[in-house]
Structure 1
């Protein structure tokens, strides 16, 4: 997709600080990092969300994410990492990208996600059953 900035990075038309290149994947530094070293992992092919990722790419994608998470510790001296994927909501670029952010205890990252809510009586079991059903289709 010509208008996709991540496709442009993958094609080499838009400069990026590439961290990892594999046949099917590319990882590069986020230009607006949460913390220095924040990496985005993308499939080379234009895939919009995680549910759209072809089965043949899943293992390689997750293996690369594991390697990047390890690199946060080994290469940057982080104590750990934060790994996340947004699907549609809060997805700033409509091309699947996995964030790997270096973390250190006391780094100040709080409330990064969504507000909390509570279940009414009986709702947890209902939601769990609906999800289990959806997973067996």
Structure 2
């Protein structure tokens, strides 16, 4: 089993799921956020040794912090559909940037557009960083 030893604790922190869930406006949204986070954490398991995996892992923690952004999709009845990681065309010098796209769909209305949230993450350093703001848009099914 891999062991993580870090001399640098910058960017390492703890959070409480209950704090995020308590901020949900309704019980239905609370349940949907909990389901969303459970799915993200279950689907994102990986050894974290490849750059693509590190981008995905960092996005998972960023998703937790930015769950209020995803709450918009969740509050309108959408659920997480796919998580895609691809090399980003947006980068800076000496970087290793990846786009992580979260796509949400409406399980009750297949004709409704998907909501997409994109995180651009640079994993070239010990502590990954999100570049730019989280982007969101709708796309046809």
**Higher RCO (CA < 8 A, seq sep 6+):** 1
Structure 2 length normalisation: TM-score?
A: 0.30
Rg larger for:
1
